[in-house]
Chains A and B, each alone.
With several copies, the nearest count.
Chain A
Amino acid sequence: MVEPALAETADPAADQGHVALDDQGQEIRSGFTVSLDGFDGPFDLLLGLIAKRRMDVTKVALAEVTEEFIAYVRTLEAQRALDESSNFVFVAATLLDMKLVQLLPGSQVESEDDIAALEARDLLFARLLQYKAFKQIADQMGAAAAENAGRFARRPGAHPDMANLLPELVWNTTAEDLKALAERALARRQAEPDEVGLAHLHAAAVNVRAEMAAMTEQLRAAGRCSFTELVAGAESRLVVVVRFLGLLELFRDRSVEFDQQVPLGELLVTWSGQAGTSQDALDRAAAEWDEGEGDAAGKSTSGQESRDG
């Protein structure tokens, strides 16, 4: 019974407007208020900061806010605390971003990092302004809905004479059919969580090591292959992706060379490695990509530092 007002409500309170916040609990919108002012949500918080032009972002003591937040989270039940925490991390990260931007010497934009930071700032503002526009529209829509709320649509209900008008119902459903339908409906509800399911990404574990070995063999034999040829037999998109990653690994190991005449053109791969096995490359790639049972999606970041070195 979290939000009783949301069950189909002929809730009398609805008329008095007491349930204006009824959907709130469905979001990760935080009940936590920063002591700076009463903010309610990441973008709201940021908009508030911008609106109060005198407020210096650099003066917001993130540590203090964090202390308060942790105290607040302790009062929550587990699931809610998790939601709110991730929300808070988002806000805090954005705040840190803004602090970073603010602390940069604005007049002398020279380094790549400065430009990147400025671009990030522009992007942030573009998003904020876009959100602001939608927020204003939402207010207008709310006003329109409120103005319209006093009108109720005619619902025809059951017409005493109307039953005879309907064509005779063709009925060939059995009680067993109904049972099956009910079970499917009830089960589906359990099976479909709100989150995007990631299970399917893990379904087929594709092994980078094996794919690299297979491509090495193919390239050694042919000397030169197009990427299309290399992925010709791939049974899924995931295999294509993994083979591409494998090629990058081989390239790093200087076992292959790439040639692409035009952007988006055919990628030609030429074997340039020694006759000997590139066992090192295979091991390293396997360590980076294949560990953790085909968890290909998660590995892209963890492998980052070692390759940049």
Chain B
Amino acid sequence: MAEQPSGNSGAQGNPALEEAGSSQLVSHEDYLAAVEAVLMVAEEPVSPAELATAVSLPQHQVQALLDELRAEADGVTENWPGDAPAGAPRQRGYELREVAGGWRYYSRARYAEQVSAFVLGGQTSRLSPAALETLAVIAYRQPVARSAVSAIRGVNVDGVVRTLVQRGLLDTAGTDPVTGATLYVTTAEFLERLGLDSIEDLPKLSPHLPGVEDLEDDASAV
């Protein structure tokens, strides 16, 4: 399979059958493998645009390849045109996840016990309630100064914020033009940590805020 150098083919979902930008890669499997190879050396989630540049394919085709790789790792059989479904593939020890605006390989949660001994670094330490509350406020109010977070949480947050910056879950983002206070934002690592693709995926804050009636209830109850 996989000749057709001419271009404009109709084989949707099989990027290799469309025009190949690189002279080297010819087959669909080649492209799958190339994307796989790039993901293998990435330090952080890789966006489809970056992958598209690296393997010289249009982004929508890379997207299709990513979906295929993800399904394959999960042991889900899908029928790709021109690709014989080779029985039920086994579920891999890794999964390909879409997080923080990109794609990255992760070990499968099922094997956390076997893997955890080999993973060093802060990843395994749990986030304290204080850290989570601070992250929550900053996630919704970013970019935001520490003083604003303190005002909402009612405690000094300097230490927690510094720790979170060191752990890569927060980053500084310039200063407030009026007060000169350092502003903080959440990082891609924060999104990864929660398994989110973007900050938009956080739950809405409004349902947690009571309506006026509730507020009056609460007020009269005191």
Contact = CB atoms under 8 A, between A and B. Distances in A.
Interface stretch (A20-28, A239-247, A258-266, A273-281): A20-28
Nearest to A56: B222
Given A9-B180, A131-B153, A192-B154, A20 B41 contact: no
Q: Interface residues of A: mostly helix, strand, loop or mixed?
A: helix
A9 B135 contact: no
B128 to A, nearest CB: 4
B43 A157 contact: yes
B2 interface: no
B191 to A, nearest CB: 10
B79 interface: no
A189 interface: yes
B107 interface: yes
A1 B217 contact: yes
Contacts of B97: 151, 160
Interface string B151-178: 1111111111011011110000001101
Best-surrounded residue of A8, A144, A173, A192 (most CB of chain B within 10 A): A8
Interface string A1-25: 1111111111110110101111111
Interface string B181-201: 100000000001111100001
Contact of B112 (A20, A90, A150): A150
A147 interface: yes
Contacts of B8: none
Interface string A130-169: 1111111111111011111111111111111111011111
A154 B105 contact: yes
A152 to B, nearest CB: 4
B124 to A, nearest CB: 5
B71 interface: no
A120 to B, nearest CB: 12
Given A9-B125, A23-B131, A41-B154, A153 B105 contact: yes
A165 B120 contact: yes
B129 interface: yes
B70 interface: no
A149 B124 contact: yes
B221 A133 contact: no
A85 interface: no
Contacts of B88: none
A185 interface: yes
Contacts of B120: 10, 165-167
B205 interface: yes
B208 A1 contact: no
Interface in A160-196: 160-163, 165-171, 173-179, 181-190, 192, 194-196
Interface stretch (B17-25, B50-58, B136-144): B136-144
B121 interface: yes
Question: Which 8 residue pairs spanning A and B have beta carbons closest together?
Answer: A26-B159, A8-B147, A150-B112, A150-B109, A10-B180, A181-B136, A133-B208, A154-B105
Interface of B: 39-44, 94-95, 97, 99, 104-110, 112, 115-116, 119-133, 135-137, 139-140, 145-148, 150-160, 162-163, 165-168, 175-176, 178-181, 192-196, 201-206, 208-210, 215, 217-222
